[in-house]
Amino acid sequence: MPGKALMIHHNKAMNYHFHDSHPFHPIRLELTLDLLTAAEAMKPAHIMNPRQATEQELLQIHQPTYIDAVKALSATSPNQAWLDRAEQFGLQDEDTPFFPGMHEAASYIAGGTVTAADAVMSGKCAHALHLGGGLHHALSAKAAGFCVYNDVSVAIAYVRQHYNARVLYVDTDVHHGDGVQWSFYSDPEVCTYSIHETGKYLFPGTGFVQERGEHQGYGACINIPLQPYTEDDSWMECFEQSIRRLTEHFKPDLIISQHGCDAHALDPLSHMHCSMKIYNEMPAILHSLAHTYCSGRWVAVGGGGYDIWRVVPRAWSLLWLEMTDHPLKPLLRQQPQMKLPPAWISKWQGQSSVDLPHEWLDDLTHWEGIPRRAEITAKNRESLAVALQDFP
Ligand SMILES: [Zn+2]
Ligand SMILES: [Zn+2]
């Protein structure tokens, strides 16, 4: 039923786990699902178990030898010939080290995003959320930035093949969505949009305004690189103006959005200074665009976010509240100081090394403003103007 939203989740996604001190930790999923349960915003009936992506589906995006390497390096003790080649495939660095069971876990994540896209495109639901997904840095023959298989690219290729739909991909992670961009760089039917901290200072070092697509796909790629220390108002201004213009211009059949929440000021891996405000307001814009242009068809996935206790569970829960039209969402507008469920805080506080937040949104009265705010805002407006200059 249109209006209905599904949460796509498989316990096998919890096995996508490099090691315990790695920032991309599956406890992020558990903390979020638990917060939603405590808030009485998610019931077992909302959850759909995805299937594993097939080899055929992975091959639409990834090279056969890369898939062989991922499989071989998933063994408990991989053979030496593959160990020698691990580096070539990006699987032997600090960011994305190979681990036992990697192929199966990553295939379930790719399958989760395919399942989400299928559920929405077939009309089973209007919106689907797959928080295990969003591995936007994985390349055709190389793992990168914590990403092994590019679940988003695999799902977009699936949608193109089975439904021939025009897809708008919206990436709000603080890192440029490079893997998805390169997968569809010359495809005019897939528009990739990414708003992120400029690649001048942050991994993966791409995502400049001049990257606009190539050949037939020229114009179906938009990048909004923002200055370090960008705050809420400038982020929202750049996002809202660009995404409204782009969606109206491109007229997609489906929106797939990536919700890395690492542009938050507390995130240890970036230099942005946004608060929970953008993670409350941005999904509402995507939601309304999906209903205006796509008959509601909207798939959302997770992504980065490395303040796993204070930022990720709240940001991702706010996204689900938006997708389900939950009554807490409008209430938050009237009562910005609304409390998180005490049961969630008491359950997890003992495991966290930091004080858990007590409210859904951040209380900005204690935040110091960024001294260069005017200069940063002006530079972001310049990038926005260049990115939008070809739109009518
Ligand atoms: Zn809706
Ligand atoms: Zn990120």
- Distance (angstroms) between ligand 1 centre and the Cα of 126 equals 7
Q: 81 in a domain, yes or no?
A: yes
* Contact of 246 with 193, CB cutoff 8 Å: yes
Burial classification of residue 1, based on how many CB atoms lie within 10 Å of its CB (0-12 exposed, 13-18 middle, 19 or more buried): exposed
User: What is the domain-level CATH number for residue 248?
Assistant: 3.40.800.20
How far is it, in rounded angstroms, from Cα 362 to Cα 12? 33
For the chain, the 3-state helix, strand and coil shares in percent, each to the nearest 5, are 45, 10, 45
* Sheet hosting strand 298-301, strand order edge to edge: 47-48, 5-8, 127-130, 298-301, 254-258, 167-171, 190-197, 221-226
* Contact of 174 with 272, CB cutoff 8 Å: yes
Helix boundaries (H) for 184-334? 232-250, 276-293, 312-323, 328-334
Give the number of the ligand closest to the Cα of residue 329.
Answer: 1
- Distance (angstroms) between ligand 2 centre and the Cα of 303 equals 6
> Which of 197, 227, 193 is CA-nearest to residue 382?
227
Tally Cβ neighbours within 10 Å of residue 169.
Answer: 27
Give the number of the ligand closest to the Cα of residue 269.
Answer: 2
* Contact of 194 with 177, CB cutoff 8 Å: yes
Q: Which amino acid is at 213?
A: G
> Which of 166, 150, 176 is CA-nearest to residue 63?
150
- Distance (angstroms) between ligand 2 centre and the Cα of 81 equals 32
Our count of domains for the chain comes to: 1
pLDDT for position 211: 98
Question: Which of 9, 46, 127, 137 is labelled catalytic?
Answer: 137
* Contact of 173 with 258, CB cutoff 8 Å: yes
Q: 392 in a domain, yes or no?
A: no
Give the number of the ligand closest to the Cα of residue 23.
Answer: 2
pLDDT for position 3: 53
- Distance (angstroms) between ligand 1 centre and the Cα of 269 equals 32
Q: 290 in a domain, yes or no?
A: yes
Q: 85 in a domain, yes or no?
A: yes
Q: 257 in a domain, yes or no?
A: yes
pTM of the model: 0.98
How far is it, in rounded angstroms, from Cα 49 to Cα 47? 7
- Distance (angstroms) between ligand 1 centre and the Cα of 290 equals 8
How far is it, in rounded angstroms, from Cα 271 to Cα 267? 8
* Contact of 81 with 93, CB cutoff 8 Å: no
Q: What is the pLDDT along the chain (392 residues), one digit of tens a residue?
A: 445 899 999 999 999 999 999 999 999 999 999 999 999 999 999 999 999 999 999 999 999 999 999 999 999 999 999 999 999 999 998 999 999 999 999 999 999 999 999 999 999 999 999 999 999 999 999 999 999 999 999 999 999 999 999 999 999 999 999 999 999 999 999 999 999 999 999 999 999 999 999 999 999 999 999 999 999 999 999 999 999 999 999 999 999 999 999 999 999 999 999 999 999 999 999 999 999 999 999 999 999 999 999 999 999 999 999 999 999 999 999 999 999 999 999 999 999 999 999 999 999 998 988 999 999 999 999 999 999 998 87
Give the number of the ligand closest to the Cα of residue 294.
Answer: 1
- Distance (angstroms) between ligand 2 centre and the Cα of 334 equals 31
**Is 137 assigned a catalytic role?**
yes
Range of the domain at 326: 5-387
